[in-house]
C-alpha cells in the first residue's frame, strides 16, 4: 500500500483526492490546507487525517506527497518534502521562478528524489492516440502544430496573482504538449496578448486573459498556441497536427455523444464544462502512474526537467510579450 498526503485541497487537490480513491494500492492518509472547510471536505469524503505539514513529513509511513497549493508555494514545499525522503507529485507549474526551479532540481538530484510534474494531458487517451499516430511513418513528418486552449471563465484575481500569470499558469500545459508532441528543440518564441475580456485582470490580477504564441523548432516546424480565459462554448481543448501525408485532429470533448436532428437542424450536447470532467480519466491515470513509480522506485514519465523546460518557454513568451520581439530560446 502506498500512503499519500495531500497539500492543498482546493479545486485540483480534490480532483486528485478522488483519483487516489480510485487507484488500487493507494491510500490518502493526510491532508493539509489552512482553509478548514477545504480540508474538511477531503476528511469527510476520503477519511484522510487533517494534520500540519511538519507532522505529515515526520511520519515515516508517508511514501508520497501531492502538492496542489498555489503555484508560488510549490518550490519550497517540493524541497521540504524531498529532503524528508518523500516522493513528490507536484502540480504545474513547478515554480513561478526559473532560479527557484533550478534550486529545486538540484535538491531533487542531491537526494536522488522522485519528482513528477502534473502535466495530465500526457495521460489523456485522445492525446496519447495523437502522439502514437505521429510516430507512424504513414502520416509523414509534422510541419505545423496548432494548440487551442480556452477556459470557460477566468479564475479569481487572487488566484491569478499567485499563479505566475497566464503563460506560466495556463499556457504551461500547451508548452509541455508542444514539446511532447513535436519532440524537437524549440528555438524561438513570439507572443502577443492582453486583458481584452476584463481590463481589471491587469490591475487586480496582475495578468492578461488572452494570448497567442508562435514558436519555431530547430528544423523550422511551426507551433501556434492560442489561449483565452473565456469561452462561451465551454472548455475548448483542441489540437491539430498538420503532417506531410495527413492532418490529425483532436477536438474538444462533449458532455455526451448525443446528437438530436430535427426540423430545426442538428444539435449536439455542450462541451465538457472544465478540466475536472474533461481530464478526469487522465488525472486517474497520472496518479496511477505516480503510485506505480513509488511502488517500483521507477522514474516517472513526466519529470522536474519537463517542468523546467516548459517554464523556460513560458518565460520566453513573457519576455516576447513585454518587448514585442521574438525571443530566441537557449
Ligand atoms: N493540472 C491541472 O489541470 C490543474 C488545474 C488547476 C490547477 N492546477 C494547479 O494546481 C495548483 C492549485 O490550483 P487550484 O485551482 O486547486 O487552486 P485553489 O485556489 O482552488 O486551491 C489551492 C488550495 O491551496 C490551499 N493552500 C494555500 N496555502 C497552502 C499551504 N501553505 N499548504 C497547504 N494548502 C495551502 C488553499 O487554501 C486552497 O484551498 C496551482 O498550482 C495550479 O496551477 C493544475
DSSP 160-212: HHHHT-HHHHTHHHHHHHHHHHH-S-EEEEEEEEE--S-THHHHHHSS-SEEE
Buried (b) or exposed (e) across 219-231, using 16+ Cβ within 10 A? eebebbbbbbbeb
Cβ(290) – ligand 1 distance below 6 Å = no
**What's the mean per-residue pLDDT of the chain?**
97
- CB atoms under 10 Å from CB of 33, counted, come to 21
Ligand 1 centroid to residue 102 C-alpha, Å: 22
Give the chain's end-to-end CA distance (angstroms, integer): 43
Question: How many alpha carbons fall within 13 Å on the CB side of residue 201?
Answer: 21
pLDDT at 43: 98
Kindly report, residue by residue over 224-239, the tens digit of the pLDDT. Answer: 999 999 999 999 999 9
Q: Which fold has domain 124-280+310-328?
A: Dihydrodipicolinate Reductase; domain 2 (3.30.360)
> What's the average model confidence in pLDDT over 19-47?
97
Cβ(118) – ligand 1 distance below 6 Å = yes
Cβ(164) – ligand 1 distance below 6 Å = no
Phi-psi region of 324 (alpha: psi -120 to 50; beta: other; left: phi over 0): left
Strand order in the sheet with 87-91: 49-50, 26-32, 2-7, 64-67, 87-91, 115-118
Cβ(275) – ligand 1 distance below 6 Å = yes
Using pLDDT thresholds of 50, 70 and 90, give the confidence band for residue 51: very high
Query: Does 154 score more than 90 pLDDT?
Result: yes
Cβ(68) – ligand 1 distance below 6 Å = yes
DSSP 297: T
Q: pLDDT over 70 for what percent of the chain?
A: 100
Ligand 1 centroid to residue 32 C-alpha, Å: 12
Q: How far apart are CA 66 and CA 32, in angstroms?
A: 10
Query: Does 94 score more than 90 pLDDT?
Result: yes
* DSSP result, 239-278: EEEEESS-EEEEPPPBS---EEEETTEEEEPPBP-SHHHH
Cβ(96) – ligand 1 distance below 6 Å = no
Using pLDDT thresholds of 50, 70 and 90, give the confidence band for residue 330: confident
> Which one of 74, 91, 176 would you pick to mutate in the ligand 1 pocket, going by the greatest count of ligand atoms within 8 A of its CB?
91
Ligand 1 centroid to residue 168 C-alpha, Å: 14
Cβ(38) – ligand 1 distance below 6 Å = yes
The model's pTM: 0.96
Q: Cell 522522485 identifies what position?
A: 114
Q: What is the dihedral of CA 63, 67, 73, 75, to 10 degrees?
A: 60
Q: Which atom of ligand 1 is nearest to the CA of 159?
A: 19
Kindly report, residue by residue over 243-298, the tens digit of the pLDDT. Answer: 999 999 999 999 999 999 999 999 999 999 999 999 999 999 999 999 999 999 99
Q: How far apart are CA 141 and CA 91, in angstroms?
A: 32
Kindly report, residue by residue over 190-217, the tens digit of the pLDDT. Answer: 999 999 999 999 999 999 999 999 999 9
125-134 helix and 171-182 helix, angle to the nearest 10 degrees: 30
Ligand 1 centroid to residue 150 C-alpha, Å: 19
Kindly report, residue by residue over 98-137, the tens digit of the pLDDT. Answer: 999 999 999 999 999 999 999 999 999 999 999 999 999 9
Cβ(91) – ligand 1 distance below 6 Å = yes
Q: Which fold has domain 2-121?
A: Rossmann fold (3.40.50)
Cβ(274) – ligand 1 distance below 6 Å = no
> What's the average model confidence in pLDDT over 31-44?
97
CA 19 to chain centre: 16
Cβ(120) – ligand 1 distance below 6 Å = yes
Closest Cα to residue 287, out of 68, 139, 135, 45?
68
Cβ(11) – ligand 1 distance below 6 Å = yes
Q: Which atom of ligand 1 is nearest to the CA of 275?
A: 3
Q: Could you tell me where in the chain the CATH 3.40.50.720 domains are found?
A: 2-121
pLDDT at 136: 98
Ligand 1 centroid to residue 112 C-alpha, Å: 26
Residue pair 70/34 in contact by the 8 Å Cβ criterion: no
Would strands 64-67 and 87-91 be described as parallel, antiparallel, or unpaired? parallel
> Which one of 7, 9, 10 would you pick to mutate in the ligand 1 pocket, going by the greatest count of ligand atoms within 8 A of its CB?
10
Amino acid at each position: 500500500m502506498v500512503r499519500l498526503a495531500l497539500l492543498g485541497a482546493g479545486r485540483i487537490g480534490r480532483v486528485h483526492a478522488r483519483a487516489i480513491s480510485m487507484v488500487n494500492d493507494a491510500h490518502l492518509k493526510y491532508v493539509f490546507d489552512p482553509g478548514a472547510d477545504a480540508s474538511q471536505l477531503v476528511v469527510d469524503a476520503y477519511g484522510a487525517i487533517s494534520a500540519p505539514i511538519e507532522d505529515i513529513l515526520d511520519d515515516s509511513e508517508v511514501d508520497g506527497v501531492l502538492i496542489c497549493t498555489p503555484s508560488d508555494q510549490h518550490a519550497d514545499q517540493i524541497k521540504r518534502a524531498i529532503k524528508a525522503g518523500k516522493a513528490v507529485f507536484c502540480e504545474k507549474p513547478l515554480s513561478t521562478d526559473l532560479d527557484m526551479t533550478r534550486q529545486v532540481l538540484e535538491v531533487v538530484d542531491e537526494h536522488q528524489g522522485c519528482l513528477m510534474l502534473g502535466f495530465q494531458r500526457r495521460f489523456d487517451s485522445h492525446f496519447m492516440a495523437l502522439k502514437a499516430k505521429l510516430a507512424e511513418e504513414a502520416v509523414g513528418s509534422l510541419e505545423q502544430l496548432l494548440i487551442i486552449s480556452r477556459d470557460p471563465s477566468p479564475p479569481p484575481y487572487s488566484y491569478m496573482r499567485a499563479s505566475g500569470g497566464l503563460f506560466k499558469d495556463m499556457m504551461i500545459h500547451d508548452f509541455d504538449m508542444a514539446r511532447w508532441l513535436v519532440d524537437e528543440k524549440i528555438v524561438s518564441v513570439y507572443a502577443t496578448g492582453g486583458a481584452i475580456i476584463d481590463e481589471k485582470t491587469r490591475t487586480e490580477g496582475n495578468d492578461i486573459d488572452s494570448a497567442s504564441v508562435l514558436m519555431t523548432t530547430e528544423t523550422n516546424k511551426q507551433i501556434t498556441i492560442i489561449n483565452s480565459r473565456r469561452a462561451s462554448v465551454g472548455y475548448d481543448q483542441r489540437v491539430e497536427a498538420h503532417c506531410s501525408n495527413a492532418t490529425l485532429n483532436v477536438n474538444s470533448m462533449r458532455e455526451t455523444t448525443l446528437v438530436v436532428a430535427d426540423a430545426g437542424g442538428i444539435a449536439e450536447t455542450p462541451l465538457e464544462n472544465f478540466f475536472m470532467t474533461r481530464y478526469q480519466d487522465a488525472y486517474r491515470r497520472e496518479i496511477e502512474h505516480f503510485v506505480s513509480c513509488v511502488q517500483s522506485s521507477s522514474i516517472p514519465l513526466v519529470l522536474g526537467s519537463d517542468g523546467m523546460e516548459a517554464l523556460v518557454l513560458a518565460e520566453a513568451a513573457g519576455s516576447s510579450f513585454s518587448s514585442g520581439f521574438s525571443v530566441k530560446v537557449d
